[in-house]
Amino acid sequence: MDQITGDDLSPYRIFSSAEWSQLRADTPMTLSAAEVEKLRSVNDQISIEEVERIYLPLSRLLWLYVAATQQLFSATARFLGDQGNEGKVPYLIGLAGSVAVGKSTTSRLLQALLARWPTTPKVDLLTTDGFLFPNDVLRAESSLERKGFPESYDTKRLLRFLSDIKAGKRHVKAPVYSHLLYDIVAEETSEIDRPDILIVEGLNVLQYSRPAHGGRTMPFVSDFFDFTIYVDADEEQIHDWYVERFMRLRETAFRDPRSYFHRYAEMSEGEALKAANRLWGRINLPNLLENILPTRQRADLILTKGADHSIDRVALRKL
């Protein structure tokens, strides 16, 4: 009898970065080194070589998936006699992962590459930070230190937003978050107007809804996605990146007197280092272990980073 291994049972096909790069085929490079540098987040590292090796094959895969989904939508519309066709339906990509793992860089790179396909689609990017409850609400509930945990988001508002987007509605409003103020900007909104592709980036976007009383379930954010990506790295490595980023921000953005974190810029280097490690251990690590990491296996694609920030493994879910 043949022995069944763990690899046989895995729902993923695993590729080294070299193997994945071969799947680029003839996908053209449409970004310059200077453009790649502008898309890079603080303390993240990305080279144009890695864009060619990892992101161009991913761009090609998504192009094929989007085309197939459009055909499926057309087939469904024909079956329904166009009764269910409310217009263009955006293709939604969900992107999750820990704080400091490089989600923002990945999202911006994908947005730039996808928007430069020959068909020049309209590609928008939304972070779920805007759907956090305002700080005043979190303080009133004594949960400001749980910011970024699932319960700190206005999930009903986010679900309504995604439902409107997926229904092809025009001029859908989203709240705006300020990282400088560490809070929602009151009365300010951004607008998403029927994009071809929408990338939704956030810590917990791959979470699923647990059955409520009576076995009923509520839809969750991940129910609206056509394709999902998880950016992964070793826990200790992410911790190091978080602390490195914190210390760099202490010398830059935190120095702005308006910054919510301005107090850390006035600390000594040793005090700030202790504060960064304390914040990681008390808030970000528990959120990673309890809420974010358990959703990794729900992703269609897992990008795993090495110590130098480069992606050394790609896992693609089998169909």
133-181 pLDDT, tens digit per residue, is 999 999 999 999 999 999 999 999 999 999 999 998 999 999 999 999 9
User: Which pLDDT score, from 0 to 100, does residue 77 have?
Assistant: 79
CATH topology classification for 11-317: Rossmann fold (3.40.50)
End-to-end CA separation in angstroms for the chain: 26
Cβ contact 284:277 at 8 Å: no
pLDDT in tens, 270-302: 999 999 999 999 999 999 999 999 999 999 999
- What was the pLDDT predicted at 129? 97
Residue with tokens 């009151």: 186
- Cα-based distances in Å from 136 to 19, 117, 143: 49, 43, 10
**CB neighbour list of residue 95: distance below 8 Å, 6 or more residues apart:** 103, 106, 107, 110, 199, 200, 201, 202, 205, 228, 229, 230, 231
Percentage with pLDDT > 70 across the chain: 92
Q: Whole-prediction pTM value?
A: 0.93
What backbone phi and psi angles, to 5 degrees, belong to 132? Answer: -70, 150
Give the mean model confidence (pLDDT) for residues 111-118.
96
- Give the C-alpha separation, 86 to 77, whole Å: 9
pLDDT at 1 over 50: no
pLDDT at 35: 94
Q: Is the pLDDT of residue 198 over 90?
A: yes
Q: How far apart are CA 149 and CA 202, in angstroms?
A: 11
Residue numbers in the known binding site for ATP are 97-104
Confidence of residue 117 (pLDDT cuts 50, 70, 90): very high
Q: Where are the domains of the chain?
A: 11-317
Residues marked as binding? Answer: 97-104
